[in-house]
Amino acid sequence: MFPDVRLRRLRKGKIRNLVCETTLSVNDLVQPIFVDEAIKSPVEISSMPGIYKFPLSEVAKEAKEISELGIPAVLLFGVPVFKDEYGCSSFGETDVVQEAIRRIKAELEDKLLVITDVCMCEYTSHGHCGIIDLETKDLMNDQTLEILKKIAVSHARAGADIVAPSGMIDGMVGAIRGALDLNGFNNVPIMSYAAKYCSSFYGPFRDAAQSCCSFGDRSTNQMDPANSNEAIREVALDVAEGADIIIVKPALTYLDIVYRVKTEFGIPTAAYNVSGEYSMLKAAAANGWLDEKKAIYEFLISIKRAGADVIITYFAKDAACILK
Ligand code: PBG
C-alpha cells in the first residue's frame, strides 16, 4: 500500500524501458500492396494518403523497397481490368495477382514472404465475395468454394508463400486445404480471415480495389460487430479445417476479439489494421490534430498488447522507419 508502494518509481528513463511488457518489431509486420492491371505508373489512393496502387511493371521494385526496410511479408490485392459475374479473372495463370507474385519472386526469391488475398470481390462485376444467384440475390456458398479453390491453387502455383482467404464463406478453409494438398501444395499455409466483421472501416479499401457492392452488402458473409462468441465459433471451425494462422479484422475496434482468440486458442494470431483505421489517423495527423509517429506506434503496440503475433497494416513501412 501507499506510501510503501509507489508505481511511479518504475516509470522513469531506463527503468521504464526495463519493465516494458510489450515490444513491437518490424518482424511482426505485413505490408499490403495493391496491384492494378489498368495503370502504367503508381497512383495514390485518394482516401489513403501515402498508399499507392502499383502497375505490374513496378510491383517488384516496391516489394524490394519493403523488404529492404526489414519487413518480412507483403499481402497482395489485385485490381483486374476485366470483371464478370463469376470473377473469372481471379484464377488464370497470367491474371494480375499471379503475375505480381511471379515478378516479386523473380526479384526477391525467399527474401520476402508473399501472402495473397483469396477472395472474389475484386473480380466480380457486382462486387460480392462469391457467386450470386441473380434472382434471389443470395450468395451461393458451395459454388463459390469451387472458385476459391482455383484461386488458391493458382496463387500457390505462381509461387505464393501463404494464401489468405478473406470472404468468410462457410467451409472455405477446408475446401482450400483440400485443393492445395491435391495439387502438391501441402506446405503452403492458410492464413484465414476467420473473424472478419461487417465494418464501415473498409471504405477506403473498396475505393482502392473498386470492390463496392453494386447491390446489397456483405452482411450475409461478414460478422455482426455486436458478436464475440460467434467469432470464437468461426475460429474453432477454421482451426478444425486446417487454418495455420487466424486473422481478426478490423483490429482496433476488435481488440477484445484478438485477446480472446489468442488466449482461448493459443494459435498464431494476426490482426488486420484496416484501411479506415489508417485513413482516420492520417487525416487527423494531416490536420495537425495528432502526432503521427506517436499515434502509429500507439495503434500498433495496442494490437500487440491485445495478443496479436502479426499485424497487417498500411503503416508497416512507416513503422519500420519509426522503429529504426
Ligand atoms: C476482400 C477484402 C477486403 C479487405 C481485405 N480483403 C474488403 C472487404 O471485405 O470489403 C479490407 C481491407 C481494408 O479495409 O484495409 N474480401
* pTM of the complete model beyond 0.85: yes
Q: Flag whether 12 is in a domain.
A: no
pLDDT at 322: 96
- Which residues, 6 or more positions from 205, have their beta carbon under 8 angstroms from its beta carbon? 211, 274, 275, 276
Please tell me the distance from the alpha carbon of residue 157 to that of residue 101, in angstroms, as a whole number.
10
Residue 100 structural domain: 22-323
The enclosing domain of 108 has a CATH number of: 3.20.20.70
Q: Is 210 part of a structural domain of the chain? A: yes
How far apart (Å, rounded) are the C-alpha atoms in residues 206 and 201?
Answer: 10
Summarised one tens digit per residue, pLDDT across range 58-69 is 999 999 999 999
- Which residue's CA is minimally distant from atom 2 of ligand 1? 166
Centre of ligand 1 to C-alpha 205, Å, is 6
Task: Compute the average pLDDT of residues 298-315.
Answer: 98
Q: What helix, strand, coil percent values describe the chain, rounded to 5? A: 45, 20, 35
Please tell me the predicted confidence (pLDDT) of residue 220.
87
Question: What's the grid cell of residue 69?
Answer: 526496410
Q: Tell whether the model's pLDDT for residue 127 goes beyond 90.
A: yes
Q: What is the pLDDT of residue 208?
A: 87
Banded pLDDT at 89 (limits 50, 70, 90): very high
Q: Is 213 in the pocket of ligand 1 (CB under 6 A)?
A: no
Residue 57 inside a domain? The answer is yes
**What does the pLDDT read at residue 265?**
98
Residue 209, pLDDT score: 86
CA atoms of 11 and 19, how far apart (whole Å): 9
Predicted confidence at residue 207, as pLDDT, reads: 87
Region 81-96: mean pLDDT is: 97
- 249 classed as catalytic: yes
Cα 315 to Cα 319: distance, rounded to the nearest angstrom? 6
Per-residue pLDDT at 142: 97
Is 168 part of any domain?
Answer: yes
Q: Please tell me the distance between residue 59's alpha carbon and the centre of ligand 1 in angstroms.
A: 20
> What's the number of domains the chain is made of?
1
The 10s digit of each residue's pLDDT in 188-198 is 999 999 999 99
CB 165 near ligand 1, within 6 Å: no
pLDDT of 138-180, one tens digit each? Answer: 999 999 999 999 999 999 999 999 999 999 999 999 999 999 9
Residue 104's φ and ψ, nearest 5 degrees, are -65, -45
Radius of gyration of the chain (CA): 20
Give a yes or no: residue 220 inside a domain: yes
Which pLDDT band, with edges at 50, 70 and 90, does 260 fall under? very high
Question: Is 3 contained in some domain?
Answer: no
Q: How high does pLDDT run on average in the chain?
A: 97
Q: Is the pLDDT of residue 76 over 90?
A: yes
- Cα 98 to ligand 1 centre (Å): 19
Does 211 score more than 90 pLDDT? no
| Spatial separation of the C-alpha atoms in residues 78 and 67, rounded to whole Å | 20
Residue % of the chain over a pLDDT of 70: 100
Atom nearest to 129 CA in ligand 1: 16
State which ligand 1 atom lies nearest to the alpha carbon of 32: 15
Query: Which pLDDT does position 190 carry in this prediction?
Result: 98
Is a pLDDT exceeding 90 seen at residue 235? yes
Mean pLDDT, residues 31-39: 97
In a domain, 123, yes or no: yes
Sign of CA dihedral 317, 319, 321, 324: negative
DSSP annotation of 208: H
Give domain status of residue 275, yes or no.
Answer: yes
Using the 8-state DSSP alphabet, how is residue 224 labeled? P
Of the listed 196, 282, 304, 317, which one is catalytic? 196
Pocket test for ligand 1, best of 166, 206, 212, 249 (most atoms within 8 A of CB): 166
Q: Look at residue 55 and tell me whether its pLDDT is greater than 90.
A: yes
Residue 134: pLDDT over 90: no
Cell numbers linked to 262: 489468442
CB of 114 shorter than 6 A to ligand 1: no
